[in-house]
Amino acid sequence: MTTRRNFLKTAGVAGAATLAAPAVRGAAPIKWRLQTYAGPALAEKVIKPAVDTFNALAGDEMQIELYTADQLVPTGELFRAMQRGTIDAVQSDDDSMASPTDVTVFGGYFPFASRYSLDVPVLFNQYGLGDIWSKEYEKVGVKWISAGSWDPCHFNTKEPITSLNDFKGKRIFTFPTAGRFMSQFGMVPVTLPWEDIEVAVQTGELDGIGWSGITEDYTVGWADVTDYFLTNNISGAWIGHFFANMDRFNELSPRLQLMLKTVMDQSHYDRQWWYWGGEASLRVNGTKMKLTSIPDEEWATVEAAARVFWDEIAQESEIKSKVVQVFKDYNETMDKAGRPYRYG
């Protein structure tokens, strides 16, 4: 199993040489360190094109050095590192990086908050979630830049899952909130460093993964170590974000701030079509995992449990209650709108 020490020496998009060179403030070009939640193979798709584009546009004014999952700090410490200024910017969900905010529980995969990837940008741009996130992160000295959608949350496992009973006792690597929700069905959520997951499945430490859709399973190698893919999902799209240390962001000129946000918004768009097309294509043409399904009437009990879970979360704080109400209002509108917004 690759150790973090060897990983720091040998892997990553930026390369080991850049680790020894701290960013120089006030000099040209400005140097930023950005760490992503994604490992090296996935980072090539979900963040490296955006960083390359920004660096090409900014030229001698500013350059971003990209680091992959756990390369500078463990994912669970990303927020604190960014807040301190050890890292200048982060691509992650709130849940994984343990943000000390009232919106953290909604990052990543909040159960059944979205059905399609387009739900996420609509929620943040038209239903007010962007304003809420911006204010919550401002309180803790972090600049929330933008939110985007990623892939849906499915389960890929060593043994087939065809009923809820099959989750009982299964040790699954997943996000904190997703694990908290699914534990009521007997699933055992497990947290490990991202780069250890494939080996953990091979050694039997894990029975499966509930971290992504099928596109990522193929991209990062998990389809090579798991045999089954459950077509039911607990979320239609991961909610992820770009963040920056507030002081570092404010030091940038308005032009560089705008350029940064524009490139990140373009990155959200690129991921949206990459995942949307990939999920369908690999279900039809992929050969590495057998598709299984839980009957709709049985899966409906999971959706009903999610609404109970929403109400439990809403009771925890005023902000959480406000966000949950946004999800309720939005999904009610989608349900009433009918096809193509909602089916069934």
pLDDT in tens, 274-303: 999 999 999 999 999 999 999 999 999 999
pLDDT at 141 over 50: yes
| Whether the predicted pLDDT of 15 surpasses 50 | no
- Yes or no: say if 34 and 64 are a contact pair by the CB < 8 Å rule: yes
CA distance 189 to 153: 14
The whole-number pLDDT of residue 16 equals 38
Contact (Cβ atoms closer than 8 angstroms) between residue 213 and residue 153: yes
What pairing do the DSSP bridges indicate for beta strands 171-174 and 89-92? unpaired
Q: Give pLDDT tens digits for 194-215.
A: 889 999 999 999 999 999 999 9
**How does strand 290-292 pair with strand 228-230?**
parallel
Answer yes or no: is pLDDT of 24 > 60.
no
- The C-alpha atoms of residue 259 and residue 51 are separated, in whole angstroms, by 11
Is the per-residue pLDDT at 137 higher than 90? yes
Residue 28 predicted with pLDDT over 90: no
Check pLDDT > 90 for residue 3: no
Inter-residue contact 90 to 243 (CB < 8 Å): yes
What does the pLDDT average to over 131-156? 97
Distance CA 97, CA 64 (A): 20
**pLDDT grade, residue 9 (50/70/90)?**
very low
Q: Over range 228-237, report the average pLDDT.
A: 97
pLDDT at 220 over 90: yes
pTM listed for this prediction: 0.89
Q: What is the pLDDT of residue 265?
A: 96
Q: Is the pLDDT of residue 116 over 80?
A: yes
Please, which pLDDT band fits residue 41 given cuts at 50, 70 and 90?
very high
Structure tokens at 327: 């999800």
Q: Which residue would you say has higher pLDDT here, 57 or 2?
A: 57
CA distance 72 to 87: 8
Cβ contacts of 333 within 8 Å, gap of 6 or more: none
> Which has the minimum average pLDDT: 10-14, 116-120, 307-311?
10-14
Among candidate residues 150, 146, 140, the one with its CA nearest the CA of residue 124: 146
Q: Domains (ranges, CATH) in the chain? A: 4-151+237-280 (3.40.190.170), 154-235+289-337 (3.40.190.170)
70-81: b (≥16 Cβ within 10 Å) or e: bbbbebebbbeb
Q: H or E stretch including 35?
A: strand 30-36
Kindly provide the residue ranges of all beta strands, DSSP E only, lying in 181-318, ordered along the sequence: 188-190, 208-212, 228-230, 239-245, 290-292
How confident is the model over 217-246, as a mean pLDDT? Answer: 97
Helix axes 318-337, 129-138, angle to 10 degrees: 160
Read off the pLDDT band of 27 (50, 70, 90): low
* Count of CB atoms situated within 10 Å of the CB of 24: 10
- Please report the pLDDT score of residue 267 as a whole number: 97
Q: Report residue 34 as tokens.
A: 């950005």
Q: pLDDT band at 344, cuts 50/70/90?
A: low
Instruction: Kindly list the strands in the beta sheet with 62-67, ordered across the sheet, starting from the edge strand earlier in the chain.
Output: 62-67, 30-36, 89-92, 239-245, 142-149
Q: Are 120 and 147 in contact (CB under 8 A)?
A: yes
What is the torsional sign of CA 203, 96, 217, 158?
positive
